[in-house]
């Protein structure tokens, strides 16, 4: 049975204040890559119709 189309929604709005780096948590490096890259790669393996990343207000430039 085929899976119906779905969207993967990734919540990446953590500010990372406890890390004291000034970067959003999703951009902190894990194994030499930003954490968000690992999450996006995992989401892509599910073959979603769409991937939506939710970020905190005012952080769009940092994610660009």
Closest CA to 48 of 10, 14, 17, 13: 10
**Is 61 a domain residue?**
no
Report the number of distinct structural domains present in the chain: 1
CA atoms within 13 A on the CB side of 38: 11
pLDDT in tens, 16-60: 888 888 889 999 999 999 999 999 999 999 999 999 999 999 999
Which tops the pLDDT comparison, 9 or 62?
9
pTM: 0.86
Q: Which domain holds residue 12?
A: 7-56
**Is 62 a domain residue?**
no
């Amino acid at each position: 049975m085929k899976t119906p189309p779905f969207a993967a929604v990734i919540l990446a709005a953590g500010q990372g204040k406890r890390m004291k780096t000034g970067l959003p948590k999703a951009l902190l490096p894990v194994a030499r890559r930003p954490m968000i890259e690992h999450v996006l790669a995992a989401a892509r393996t599910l073959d979603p119709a769409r991937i939506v990343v939710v970020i905190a207000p005012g952080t769009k430039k940092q994610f660009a």
